[in-house]
Structure 1
Amino acid sequence: MTEQHDRAPSPPDEAGRVFASDRLPLAIAYADLLATEGVVRGLIGPREAPRLWDRHLLNCAVLGDVVPQEASVCDIGSGAGLPGLVLAIARPDLRVTLVEPLLRRTTFLEEVVTALSLPHVDVVRGRADALHGERTFDVVTSRAVAPLERLLQWSMPLVSPDGALVAMKGSNVADEIDAARPVLSEWRCAEPEVLTLGDGVLVHSTHALRVAWADPAQVGWPLAPAKRSSRRRRSR
């Protein structure tokens, strides 16, 4: 990475409640990389740098409260690593895969993983649907990627039978659920659960949406392998 002299703001007191003492220095180093290289490369807006901790790092770290121990996690549309890299920093027990199609972003992610020595993190350049039928995860997460009806189609094929989509969402999450009712039914999903995160830690609590399979014994998704194969043949 190129040398930069700007740094992120000092971590607030709440950071010590979210990150263990041995993980906080990694979070500080990541914040500095976001405030410098992240801004230079257009991954984080310049106005975001002063509020990295409250708006981004702490906001993402509390997602770890609803991720099971030693889970495999896939962060689709990872961008600058939010929330996937933050989860990996806060939770070394997790196995985290960051999926991002843009080269300049995956280059940054790979450099951060190397700089912070995060051996439990894998960076995959590509779209989420490139992994459909190839891999599944205990948790598939995302932040500000797409409305729920589209997010389900990208995420649910990656969710293991006993896993769940756990996406960070804004205050309009109830409206997204209503709009996605037909897709939830098509994908045989259980009733979505809205989770409130960060009470007592964040100035403003945040929301996550958890969607599991209605029946883990009968997981099925519309994009069947036979259909995928036939499409590949037609495209050649």
Structure 2
Amino acid sequence: MTEPASSVLPPAPEVAREVFGARFADAVRYAELLAEVGVRRGLIGPREVPRLWERHLLNCAVLSEVVPEGVTVCDVGSGAGLPGVPLALVRPDLRITLLEPLLRRTNFLQEVVETLGLDHVSVVRGRAEEVLGSLPPVHVVTARAVAPLDRLAGWGIPLLRPYGEMLALKGDTAEEELRSARAALQKLGVVESSVLRVGQGLVEPSATVVRAEVGESPGGVRFAAKKAKAARSGRPRGARRRR
């Protein structure tokens, strides 16, 4: 049967060479894995394949513009590796943890890490609230298409070390989401928040990032951790995690 046109991976745009530099060939291989294995395993939809480069890989890679040098990063709800894998390809100076609860996704992520030789990347299976205390606090939490900002902050902010920041890739509603979530962010110890545009001149439209920075002693982090622990303990017996 002929493959539907909607699932054909287009050639990499020329700008991808500029963005990924020496790791361009690895970026191409990652795109191929998403278009083949990722679609076959249901990690991405076939209709996303024609726009993998512009909408996904490049959109995620330009997040590197606002990530400090040499820091630790936790990509919450990494899914098929977005934004964590593109970020890892362009930033070998980072130590990145891809955090994902579903087994079929973590299996794929581990295969990607090994295939691309991403020695500075580790894969951890679990939810953000489940790994509190077992993963060292990180400088930066990243996320893309995981949850509304207030809920995402409740998962991601507790993973940060003092003066850390959460960088969430968002769409056109970023400003509105931030306004709605400001009270929740303050309770979690966020001292400054803003909406940034990254990738201008490289991706069209430019990527939108919500940045939420915590202070020296995030007042809401312990509360969030206790709330998450209580929620876990209240899970019905015999409940099983989806695979």
TM-score by structure 2 length?
0.87
Structure-1 separation of matches of 2:112 and 2:24: 15
TM superposition outliers: structure 1 runs of 4+ over 3 Å = 224-236
Q: Are residue 204 (structure 1) and residue 205 (structure 2) matched?
A: yes
Structure-1 separation of matches of 2:224 and 2:92: 34
Contact 1:73/1:137, CA 8 A, preserved across alignment: yes
Deviation at 1:94, TM superposition (A): 0.9
Deviation at 1:163, TM superposition (A): 1.3
Task: Tell me what 2:163 maps to.
Answer: 162
Secondary structure at 2:197 match in 1: strand
Letter in 1 for 2:12: P
Task: Quote the sequence identity (%).
Answer: 51
Secondary structure at 1:192 match in 2: strand
Q: 1:10 to 1:228 in 2, by over 3 A?
A: closer
Task: Tell me what 1:141 maps to.
Answer: 142
Q: Are residue 219 (structure 1) and residue 223 (structure 2) matched?
A: no
Contact 2:142/2:168, CA 8 A, preserved across alignment: yes
Deviation at 1:39, TM superposition (A): 0.6
Which deviations, in whole Å up to 9, do the C-alpha atoms of 1:177-209 show, x marking residues without a partner? 121122122112123111101111112111001
Letter in 2 for 1:145: V
Q: 1:34 to 1:159 in 2, by over 3 A?
A: same
Structure-2 separation of matches of 1:169 and 1:103: 25
Deviation at 1:226, TM superposition (A): 7.1
Deviation at 1:234, TM superposition (A): 8.3
Contact 2:43/2:105, CA 8 A, preserved across alignment: yes
Structure 1: tracts of 5 or more residues without a match = 1-5
Task: Tell me what 2:46 maps to.
Answer: 46
Instruction: Please give the residue correspondences for 1:1-236 in structure 2 after superposition, counting only pairs within 5 Å.
Output: 8-20=9-21, 22-134=22-134, 135-213=136-214, 215-216=215-216, 218-220=217-219, 221-223=221-223
TM-score by structure 1 length?
0.90
Deviation at 1:174, TM superposition (A): 1.4
Which deviations, in whole Å up to 9, do the C-alpha atoms of 1:2-44 show, x marking residues without a partner? xxxx973211011122111x21011011001001001100111
Structure 2: tracts of 5 or more residues without a match = 1-6, 238-243
Which deviations, in whole Å up to 9, do the C-alpha atoms of 1:146-195 show, x marking residues without a partner? 11110110001111112100110111011111211221221121231111
